[in-house]
Amino acid sequence: MPVRDASSRPRAESPPPLVEAAGVSRSYALGAATVRAVRDVSLAIRPGEFVALQGPSGSGKTTLLNLLGLLDRPDTGEVRVEGRDGEALSENERSDLRRDRFGFVFQTFNLVPVLTAEENVAYPLVLSGMDAGVRRQRAGELLASVGLDGKAGVRPDLLSGGERQRVAIARALANRPAVVFADEPTANLDSRTAEEILDLMRGFNETHSVAFLFATHDPRVVTRARRIVTLHDGAIEKDELR
């Protein structure tokens, strides 16, 4: 499959970024040592993209994903969401942005165990203040779209791993986000289920123009991605379009 450098994309083709890192760095204390997880990285995610962040363990994929998703703050540099400086926002404004513009899919699904599948999907809608009837309908539609229309009242502990991840995807899409951040979403799934989950996300990407950004080791994700960003030692080594 032919590839080209994403930075070579003509400016006229590029819509304004949804989320953008500009020279961000992030270090962690690990015992007495300091680990520089992300070093001076600049990266922009635009509407409708399907991007894989790949690289070896410790290369900074999850850290960069967390910074772009406003789950963490950079030591230096800037993260901008639709032109707004993330660092200038209050904690509540960052929470509201995550609720309204972002979706998250985690490796370990991270569903709320005391809520049913439908309630898990509806949770972001509750935060948005949507009426009970409307959010129930929306949650039902989303569950149906991920193939779980018969599982609305089931709690996560009675669902398989694949079903839980489908619920997590439905939850991520509940508030019609601009971008979904997925951290190793297939790592805890068997091969066939992983393929199904990826196809599902690719389908949403194509039909709803939702951007997806994956932090992944999984070659199946990489083969489906239209843009592959390779990280090494916290810095971008390659940024390729397909």
Partner 1 sequence: MSAFALAWRSLFRQKRRSLLMIAVVAFGFASFALAGGFIAQSFEALREGTIRSVGQLQIADRRAVGRAEEATLEFGIPDAKRARAIAAAQPEVAAVLPRIDFVGLGTVGARSVPFLGVGVDPGPEAAATLASGLVVSGRYLSRDGGEDIVLGTGLANALEVKVGERVTLLATTPDGSLNAVDGVVAGLVDVKIKELNDRYLAAGQELVERLLQSEGKISKLVLFLKPDADEAKTAASLEKAMNAAGFSVVVLRWEDLAVFYGQVKLLYIGIFGFVGAVLVTIVILSAAIVMTMAVTERTREIGTLRALGTRPAGILRMFLAEGILIALAGCLAGTVMALVIRAALNASGIMLPPPPGASSGTVLHVNFYVLAYVAGLGAMVATMAIAAFFPARRASRIAIVDALTHV
Q: Which residues bind partner 1 (CB under 8 A)?
A: 66, 69, 71-72, 91-92, 95-96, 98-100, 104, 106, 110, 112-115, 119, 122-124, 126-127, 171, 175
**Rounded distance between C-alpha atoms, residue 19 and residue 171, angstroms:** 20
Q: Which two tokens stand for residue 213?
A: 């950004």
Shortest Cβ distance from residue 45 to partner 1 (Å)?
Answer: 17
- Nearest to partner 1 of 80, 94 (CB atom): 94
Give me the phi and psi of 212, to 5 degrees please.
-125, 135
- Nearest to partner 1 of 2, 113 (CB atom): 113
Shortest Cβ distance from residue 124 to partner 1 (Å)?
Answer: 5
Shortest Cβ distance from residue 56 to partner 1 (Å)?
Answer: 19
- Nearest to partner 1 of 101, 151 (CB atom): 101
Q: CB under 8 Å to 150, separation ≥6 — which residues? A: none
Shortest Cβ distance from residue 194 to partner 1 (Å)?
Answer: 21
Torsion of CA 26, 30, 34, 40, to 10 degrees: -20
Shortest Cβ distance from residue 36 to partner 1 (Å)?
Answer: 16
- Nearest to partner 1 of 10, 113 (CB atom): 113
Neighbours of 73 (CB within 10 A): 13
Pair 82, 68: CB distance under 8 Å: no
- Taking CA atoms, 67 is separated from 20, 61, 85, 193, in Å, by 10, 10, 12, 29
- Nearest to partner 1 of 98, 227 (CB atom): 98
SS3 category, 174 = coil
